[in-house]
């Protein structure tokens, strides 16, 4: 079997019931085999967007793996009678993959975020995992005019794993347009993960993450995000009404 089974679809988007370790396992198999596998870290904001945006929905439908990143996704699945085993947060996946990459010799490219952030992210991960092979770091831009230049950088660096931090949906659409041309076997849209690892943004404390309240801490710290965060209650409401389009 080349891809994991879909546990359910929400707003037309397949969600895979994978744990962190299974996610790392799939990524490892794909890197060994080659090809171009896209991984998306799906939260309620993704799903609300996919509901209205056919291009983004198609992008997630075609991804090899849509991991449940967001307590709202687990909650919605539960309301639909499906118990997903684990929340797999993109911000946790990046350091876990850096450890695996260091152990298995994968070359990792860090693309996106503000200038200097990808370099700082790579430097911190290298400190934690000195055997990590950094293929490259580059901020660039998700604008399609820049695609050829960025693809060439990633390709020339002989990258195995490409982490793209342009936020959703730009990072995921970038991967859909370009991953197959980069030579990287796996590409993942990692949102704000580089900002957390580089220390440019603070992650909610562990206790809040464990209680499923990371979104609340983020709302308190970054109140200007409230409009975006309305996606969560709207999403739960639509699921409760059974209007999630599935
Ligand atoms: N970002 C970027 N270029 C853009 C838009 C966003 O490099 O045109 C970066 C931004 O600097 C941040 C990351 O994308 O590091 C994710 O942003 P955000 O926190 O909005 O994403 P989320 O984690 O909510 O998906």
What pLDDT does 54 receive? 96
Query: Pseudo-torsion of CA 48, 197, 34, 157, nearest 10°?
Result: 120
40 Cα: distance to centroid of ligand 1 (angstroms): 14
37: number of Cβ within 10 Å: 23
CA 223–ligand 1 middle distance (angstroms): 17
What pLDDT score does 185 carry?
98
Structure tokens at 245: 């389009």
The residue ranking higher by pLDDT, 238 or 112, is: 112
Best probe residue, ligand 1, of 167, 191, 200, 231 (max atoms within 8 Å of C-beta): 167
Say whether pLDDT at 198 is over 90: yes
Give residue 226's pLDDT.
82
CB of 200 within 6 A of ligand 1: the answer is no
Per-residue model confidence (pLDDT) at position 245: 59
Using alpha carbons, select from 24, 79, 17 the residue that is nearest to residue 42: 17
- Among 38-42, 51-55, 242-246, where is mean pLDDT lowest? 242-246
Q: 2 near 42, Cβ under 8 Å? A: no
**Residue 4 three-state SS:** coil
Distance separating alpha carbons of residues 13 and 75, to the nearest angstrom:
15
Run of H or E including 80: none
Q: Is 141 helix (H, G, I), strand (E, B) or coil?
A: coil
The predicted structure's pLDDT at residue 1: 60
Across the range 10-20, mean pLDDT stands at 95
Q: Does the reported pTM lie above 0.85?
A: yes
CB 121 within 8 A of CB 110: yes
User: Is ligand 1 within 6 A of the CB of residue 225?
Assistant: no
- Position of tokens 């075609």? 62
Q: 31 CA distance to ligand 1 centroid (A)?
A: 26
The pLDDT assigned to 180 comes to: 98
Lowest average pLDDT, out of 14-23, 82-91, 125-134, 229-238, goes to: 229-238
Q: What is the pLDDT of residue 234?
A: 86
Q: What's the confidence (pLDDT) of residue 246?
A: 62
For residue 166, how far is its CA from the centre of ligand 1 (angstroms)? 4
User: Hunting for tokens 């996946």 — which residue is that?
Assistant: 93
Residue-wise pLDDT tens digits, 155-188: 999 999 999 999 999 999 999 999 999 999 999 9
- Alpha helices for 87-142 (secondary structure H): 90-104, 117-128
**CATH number attached to the domain at 15-194:** 3.40.50
Per residue in 122-164, pLDDT (tens digit) is 999 999 999 999 999 999 999 999 999 999 999 999 999 999 9
User: How far, in Å, CA of 34 to CA of 111, rounded?
Assistant: 20
* Mean pLDDT, range 93-118, rounded to an integer: 98
User: Where along the chain do its domains lie?
Assistant: 15-194
């Amino acid at each position: 079997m080349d891809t994991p089974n879909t546990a359910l679809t929400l707003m037309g988007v397949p969600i895979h019931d994978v744990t962190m370790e299974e996610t790392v396992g799939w990524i490892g198999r794909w890197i060994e085999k080659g090809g171009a596998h896209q991984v998306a870290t799906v939260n309620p904001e993704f799903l609300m967007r996919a509901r209205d945006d056919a291009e983004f929905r198609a992008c997630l439908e075609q991804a090899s793996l849509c991991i449940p990143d967001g307590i709202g996704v687990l909650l919605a699945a539960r309301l639909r009678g499906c118990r997903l085993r684990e929340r797999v947060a993109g911000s946790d996946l990046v350091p876990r993959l850096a450890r695996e990459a260091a152990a298995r010799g994968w070359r990792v490219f860090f693309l996106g975020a503000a200038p200097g952030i990808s370099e700082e992210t790579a430097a911190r991960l290298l400190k934690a995992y000195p055997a990590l092979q950094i293929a490259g770091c580059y901020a660039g831009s998700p604008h399609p005019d820049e695609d050829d230049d960025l693809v060439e950088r990633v390709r020339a660096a002989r990258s195995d794993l490409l982490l793209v931090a342009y936020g959703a949906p730009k990072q995921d659409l970038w991967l859909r347009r370009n991953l197959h041309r980069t030579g990287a076997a796996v590409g993942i849209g990692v949102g704000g993960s580089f900002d957390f690892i580089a220390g440019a943004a603070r992650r909610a404390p562990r206790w809040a993450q464990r209680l499923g309240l990371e979104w609340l801490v983020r709302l308190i710290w970054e109140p200007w995000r409230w409009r975006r965060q309305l996606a969560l209650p709207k999403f739960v409401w639509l699921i409760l009404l059974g209007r999630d389009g599935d």
